[in-house]
Structure 1
Amino acid sequence: MTIEISYESKMRLDIPYEDIINRMVLASLDFENCPYEAEVSVTIVDDEEIRSINSEYRGIDKSTDVLSFPFNEFTISGHFDDIEENIDAFNPETGELLLGDIILSTEHIVEQAKEYGHSETRELAFLVVHSMLHLMGYDHMNEEDRIIMEEKQRKILELEGISR
């Protein structure tokens, strides 16, 4: 398992962010019964940088809390059955499944924790789980998919003992 974490924000989070990220990545993969060792990159940036990335890759010129860049397309969200058919889905050196990149905003983590009345730990954990589900093919573009994704997020956080 490779979880690359880069901290590029000037703002410091006063929580054990590496432990939280590692734990939530693994919990998400376990919950979805991922049969592979996986590779995920997580970068923590400031609002200015996430706004730039959001503008460049999504054409939306504003900051956001998290961006997910999946490396694979899933026929069925969370099902890894046909992923082996895509040789590019795996790192040729390690054999690990390349899931994708997660970009997180420090300012949004702090602000949203205050806004929702919970800890920064809970906010970071939620955003990592949310993004991991995106990397495994889930989305929330329609009501049915939103409900499925929200329920999975809730269950993963609950299993990890993280509540509001």
Structure 2
Amino acid sequence: MINFFSENNFSLDNEEHYLKWIQEIISSENKKEGEINYIFCDDDYLHEINVKYLNHDDYTDIISFDNAVGNILHGDIFISTERVTENAVKYKVTFQEELKRVLAHGVLHFCGYKDKTPEDSALMRSKEDEKIKMFHVEQ
């Protein structure tokens, strides 16, 4: 079960399309869907989590807490919509494109992909690009 929560009044347009897309990402990685919670928040909320749980005193766009059991994905993914907005401007993409990147990024962490080394980051970016191409909204 994939859930979307908001701590800052953000809501996804076409939530059902995002839900199906995330399920497709999980399936394409030969994983199974457990309980995954996406929590949208602001910079201060995510910064507090970063300091409290990870001992990192900086701002970030996403923090994921992986509770996968074998191939069944479980966990919480916190996303700062403020940081997504800023990164969209920085990288010259739309808010929606940057949001898709972080939504995919979080679940890819649960699939076992890392991003701490340059090699891991390159693979993660490639996987993000691959998964973003899977997103489509039927008209």
Q: Secondary structure at the match of 2:116?
A: coil
Q: Name the aligned partner's letter for residue 58 of structure 1.
A: L
Distance in 1 separating the partners of 2:94 and 2:130: 18
Cα distance change on mapping 1:20 and 1:55 into 2, 3 Å: farther
Instruction: Give the percent of matched residue pairs that are identical in Structure 1 and Structure 2.
Output: 28
Contact 2:65 2:76 in 1 (8 A): yes
Look up the match of 2:7: 8
Distance in 2 separating the partners of 1:24 and 1:108: 22
Gaps of 5+ in 2: none
Contact 1:20 1:121 in 2 (8 A): no
Residue 142 in 1 paired to residue 117 in 2?
A: yes
Residue among 22, 27, 36 paired with 1:25: 22
Gaps of 5+ in 1: 74-82, 85-96
- Please identify runs of 4+ aligned residues in structure 1 that moved more than 4 A: none
Contact 2:64 2:76 in 1 (8 A): yes
Distance in 2 separating the partners of 1:117 and 1:161: 21
Look up the match of 1:60: 56
Cα distance change on mapping 1:146 and 1:69 into 2, 3 Å: same
Look up the match of 1:116: 91
The TM-score, its normalising length taken from structure 2, stands at: 0.85
> Between Structure 1 and Structure 2, whose CA radius of gyration is higher?
1
The TM-score, its normalising length taken from structure 1, stands at: 0.73
Q: Highest relative contact order (Cα 8 Å, sep 6+), 1 or 2?
A: 1
Aligned length: 137
Cα distance change on mapping 1:21 and 1:53 into 2, 3 Å: farther
Query: Cα distance, 1:112 vs. partner?
Result: 1.2
